[in-house]
Amino acid sequence: MLPEVARRRMVERQLRRRGVHDQRVLAAMERVPREQFVRDGDRERAYDDDPLPIGFGQTISQPLMVALICQEAAVHPGHRVLDVGAGSGYQAAVLAELGAEIHAVERIPELAAFARQNLERAGYADRVTVHVRDGTLGLPQHAPFDRIVVAAAAPRTPETLYSQLVPNGRLVVPVGPRNDQRLEVIVASPEGAAVARTVPCRFVPLVGDEGFAA
């Protein structure tokens, strides 16, 4: 099956039919070539309804989870977005398609290099900057951010990340123990952190000073 056909099928069957309603997110997911962000041996599985291994115990997230994170983040053109847990760079590419300036953080140098290679090949290198560091600590030198999205599960809301939001900014992060998580949408309201809503989910653990131990 041609990748373009597989992408359209993914959007219709895996996303739209399962509650992803943001037309901009659906269009972005249809444009980003997911096959460019998986390992060579997994290209035929790029549009499966599953996470796929990318090495070092990490995965490229299930397409539905990427779409839900992007939908809940409500990213608009001109936003500055911090993408924590860059992995292969796929979610950063989707966020870039939504018109944002992306700073992506990855703690594993080899995966950061993989993400840069994929983003360059897919045409997103001018919109995404990949940094190697502990993602739980954010990027204070580039803060504040309009949106912060996290593609790994934290044991609790990472306070340092929350502190790097603009007023009324959004932090979208899976929170909970390793096997029972919820995707939280946290708004930086004038009264403090406010959880707007939660969605059940399951992600690899967020490792770092304010996450799980390696």
Per-residue pLDDT of the chain (214 residues; tens, 9 = 90+): 889 999 999 999 999 999 999 999 999 999 999 999 999 999 999 999 999 999 999 999 999 999 999 999 999 999 999 999 999 999 999 999 999 999 999 999 999 999 999 999 999 999 999 999 999 999 999 999 999 999 888 888 889 999 999 999 999 998 887 677 888 899 998 877 767 666 665 666 667 676 666 5
**Other beta carbons less than 10 A from residue 67's beta carbon:** 26
Number of domains in the chain: 1
Global pTM reads: 0.92
Which sequence positions are flagged as catalytic? Answer: 61
Is 210 inside a domain boundary? no
Q: In terms of residue numbers, what domain contains 143? A: 3-201
CATH number at residue 8: 3.40.50.150
Is 206 inside a domain boundary? no
Is 121 inside a domain boundary? yes
Report whether 199 contacts 211 (CB < 8 A). no
Is 207 inside a domain boundary? no
Closest listed residue to residue 72, CA positions, set 19, 143, 30, 13? 19
